[in-house]
Amino acid sequence: MVKKKTCVFISGHGSNLKNLILRSRDNSFPIDIKLIITNNKKAHGVIYAKKNSIPFIIINTKFRNYENRILQILKKNKISLLCLAGYMKILSKNFIKKFGKNIINIHPSLLPKFKGLNTFSRVLQKKEAKTGCTVHYVNNKLDSGHIIAQKSFFINSDDNEITLKQKTQSLEYKVFPEAIIKMFRNY
């Protein structure tokens, strides 16, 4: 199997990145992580790039045309899949159009519910019975692309933002790799 050359975008802790790196060591896992991009020079997740000798690039999003620079880098590295794993910057319509359909994102809610930020507090406020996480294709509208995979759990009366985050993230480590496998099942 020819693995898809993949770039993972992060902004923070990088626990999903860490998990994807681990999974991609498996010969039967369809992607190879060749590059990591972050918009945050203090992103903790960069440590996983260093530990695994994967090249990483810190992008200064204050520069005009910074997305063109990213596109050039992706082209140079022959990247064909982008995984947004806690990347907290919105990609422009132009970027999405130029890169095509091969951009996926993980979001900590059961989309189409709770798009955007602060999902856990909003889930609690709305007294939802269930929550979870979603992997979806990225399109021009925030957190609105076609859903690839989702996992959910029931919320307990004593859950709070911290426990919801922990439970959601432990499901993320399952659903992100599963979504990638699903995408390339018939590849």
In the bound state with ligand GAR, the residue whose beta carbon lies nearer, of 118 and 156, is 118
Whole-number minimum distance, CB 2 to ligand GAR, in Å? 27
**Adjacency order of strands within the sheet including 130-137:** 56-58, 31-38, 4-10, 81-84, 103-107, 130-137, 147-154
> Footprint of ligand GAR on this chain (CB under 6 A)?
10, 12-16, 45, 85-86, 106-108, 133, 169, 172
Q: Which two tokens stand for residue 130?
A: 């269930």
Residue located via tokens 């945050």 = 40
Whole-number minimum distance, CB 158 to ligand GAR, in Å? 21
Whole-number minimum distance, CB 14 to ligand GAR, in Å? 5
What is the rounded CA–CA span in Å between residue 76 and residue 53? Answer: 18
Q: Which residue is nearest to ligand GAR (CB)?
A: 86
For 136-163, the DSSP string reads: EE--SSTT-SPEEEEEEEEPPTT--HHH
Q: Which two tokens stand for residue 27?
A: 């010969």
In the bound state with ligand GAR, the residue whose beta carbon lies nearer, of 134 and 183, is 134
Catalytic residue flag (residue 107): yes
Sign of the CA dihedral running 118, 96, 4, 151: positive
In the bound state with ligand GAR, the residue whose beta carbon lies nearer, of 8 and 74, is 8
Whole-number minimum distance, CB 164 to ligand GAR, in Å? 11
In the bound state with ligand GAR, the residue whose beta carbon lies nearer, of 4 and 15, is 15
Active-site choice (13, 44, 107, 136): 107
**Catalytic residue annotation:** 107
